[in-house]
Structure 1
């Protein structure tokens, strides 16, 4: 059996494994195996084919990792209006405590509201941005 055939079969197996597991990193490794198959087609030695597979596959994994990390992820389910009915509602904050929290009456109960880090707390109307545990994360309107 030709060396390139072995590389193509290995790439196919890794692609099938990626489809079964759903991890995109295996697909990047398959790119490395395809590069090794192409290296076999042009007649490089087995050692160079393995080197090509490792370098291309490893570079693809690293590139995908940094690309994925740079993109903002999906919004947290805690901040999704379709999951949490409190997101988007407005509340009145009359005063902030020294610890950066405020106690507000909301939906007939007393809740603790917090503000985002780096935001100067202010009184007045706020919009609920997210539920963090049993606290309302609010943004000024």
Structure 2
């Protein structure tokens, strides 16, 4: 399998290419294991030692990555994220409420509007705080 050592280098290169397409760093950690196996081959280790070194380096590198901040991506709720919904934070005018719900013109179309928890119907201008499906969730603009 790794009689001439090219297996390790070709495998590492293939994993780096796959990593570029996937966007995670875990394949890169396995590629580091392949590089370590290739180095073990260069220093004259037997196949069993090469495989052991490659596996240990890949597992340790993966564990280190998992514990780093790159291993934990914070999932944010897109309905409240202004980076996803550019309308969050925008202002709109609501003329008439019916039990915490309304219809209002916003960006050239009529939208369903509902009050955010704890908000009252007293204001005229409201700030969009979130989306709930195709309903705008709003809070009174202060």
> Normalising TM by the smaller chain, what interval?
0.5 to 0.7
1:40–1:49: 8 Å Cα contact kept in structure 2? Answer: yes
- Give the 5 Å matches for 1:117-128: 121-123=118-120, 124=123, 126-128=126-128
Measured at CA, do residues 112 and 28 of structure 1 come closer, stay the same or move farther in structure 2, by a change above 3 Å?
Answer: same
> Residues 96 and 121 of structure 1 are in contact (CA less than 8 Å); yes or no, is this contact kept in structure 2?
no
- 8 Å contact kept, 1:96–1:122: no
* Structure 2: unaligned runs, 5 residues or longer: none
**What does residue 12 of structure 1 align with?**
13
> What is the CA–CA distance in structure 2 between the aligned matches of 1:88 and 1:56, rounded to whole Å?
47
Question: Structure 1 residue 70 and structure 2 residue 68: aligned?
Answer: no
Q: Is the 8 A contact 1:29 1:57 kept in 2?
A: yes
Q: Give the deviation of 1:31 after TM superposition.
A: 1.1
| Alignment correspondent of 1:103 | 101
Deviations 1:40-82 (A, max 9, x none): 233333212212212222333344345345343588488446x
The number of equivalent residue pairs is: 131
Contact 1:7–1:34 (CA under 8 A) maintained in structure 2 = yes
Cα deviation 1:2-55 (Å, max 9, x = unaligned): 654331222112223333x33433222111111212222333332122122122
* Alignment-derived partner of residue 61 in structure 2: 60
**Aligned-CA RMSD value:** 3.8
Gaps of 5+ in 1: none
Higher deviation after alignment, 23-32 or 72-81: 72-81
Supply the distance in 2 between the matched residues of 1:30 and 1:85 (Cα, whole angstroms): 39
More divergent stretch after superposition (43-52 vs 120-129): 120-129
Asked which structure has the greater CA Rg, the reply is 2
Q: TM-score, normalised by structure 2?
A: 0.61
CA distance in 2, matches of 1:60, 1:114: 48
